[in-house]
């Protein structure tokens, strides 16, 4: 038993949602998004609805471009979806036509969208990270140093000279871990 996954074109999104509701799949669970950078230049948006809370349902998904993506709002089908759409708009920069345009979690005027994978958590890059130390507090010469998740390899962002790194490069390096020490 599992949800059915139904991929639709972005243009058919609101219509597909309305069709679910009309078919009796009326219980709205959630709506969310994933940044697909590195695989394709897209944000994947998903919503899940089911006939009733504990039943198997349908996961509707679609893709919009990473920058300037727009999707029709489904708040006319499920009023509660507007809350999730506002969250996706804040975190991924996707606009919902006909949705509630107010930011939900970010302050108005906040620059950038923090859940895009190439968003650098700049506050983390400037604050000392307690995990940067090695056991025994040794900082051995030539040892590869650690960076926290959300902060790219300094060679790619921060200490890089010349042209800025491509978003794909930044996104691939923000998982945290060991980076090459500087010569």
Partner 1 sequence: MTHARIRLVTDRCTSCMICARECPTWCIGISSHTEPLPDSPPGPRQRTHHVLDSFTLDWSLCMYCGICIEECPFDALEWDTEVPRATASAAAMTEELT
Q: Least Å distance between CB 101 and partner 1?
A: 30
Residue 70 is given by DSSP the state E
Q: How many residues bind partner 1 (CB under 8 A)?
A: 13
Q: Least Å distance between CB 19 and partner 1?
A: 39
Choices 8-16, 57-65, 126-134, 157-165; region in contact with partner 1 by CB under 8 A: 126-134
Distances (CA, A) of 30 to 78, 151, 161, 163: 10, 29, 43, 40
Reference 26, options 67, 91, 74; nearest CA is 74
Regarding 30 and contact with partner 1 (CB under 8 A), the answer is no
Q: Least Å distance between CB 28 and partner 1?
A: 27
Distances (CA, A) of 42 to 7, 33, 51, 71: 14, 10, 30, 13
Distances (CA, A) of 177 to 35, 47, 116: 21, 33, 19
Identify whether the C-beta of residue 115 lies closer than 8 Å to the C-beta of residue 108.
Answer: no
Regarding 130 and contact with partner 1 (CB under 8 A), the answer is yes
Q: Least Å distance between CB 140 and partner 1?
A: 11
Q: Least Å distance between CB 135 and partner 1?
A: 5
User: By C-beta, is 68 or 142 nearer to partner 1?
Assistant: 142
List the x/- string, 136-165, binding to partner 1 by CB under 8 A. Answer: xxx-------x-x-----------------
Q: In the block, which residue shows the tokens 């968003």? A: 119
- Residues forming contacts to partner 1 in the complex (CB under 8 A) are 127, 129-131, 133-138, 146, 148, 176
């Amino acid at each position: 038993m599992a949800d059915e996954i139904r991929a639709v074109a972005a243009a058919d999104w609101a219509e597909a949602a309305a069709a679910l509701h009309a078919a009796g799949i009326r219980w709205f669970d959630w709506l969310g998004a994933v940044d697909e950078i590195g695989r394709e230049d897209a944000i994947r948006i998903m919503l899940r609805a089911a006939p009733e809370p504990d039943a198997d349902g349908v996961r509707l998904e679609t893709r919009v471009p990473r920058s300037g993506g727009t999707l029709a709002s489904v708040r006319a089908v499920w009023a509660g979806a507007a809350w999730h759409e506002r969250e996706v708009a804040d975190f991924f920069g996707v606009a919902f036509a006909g949705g509630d345009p107010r930011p939900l979690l970010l302050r108005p005027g906040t620059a950038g969208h923090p859940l895009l994978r190439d968003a650098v958590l700049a506050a983390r890059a400037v604050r000392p990270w307690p995990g940067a130390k090695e056991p025994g507090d040794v900082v051995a010469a030539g040892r590869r140093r650690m960076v926290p998740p959300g902060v790219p390899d300094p060679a790619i962002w921060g200490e890089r000279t010349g042209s800025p790194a491509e978003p794909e490069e930044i996104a691939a390096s923000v998982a945290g871990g060991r980076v090459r020490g500087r010569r």
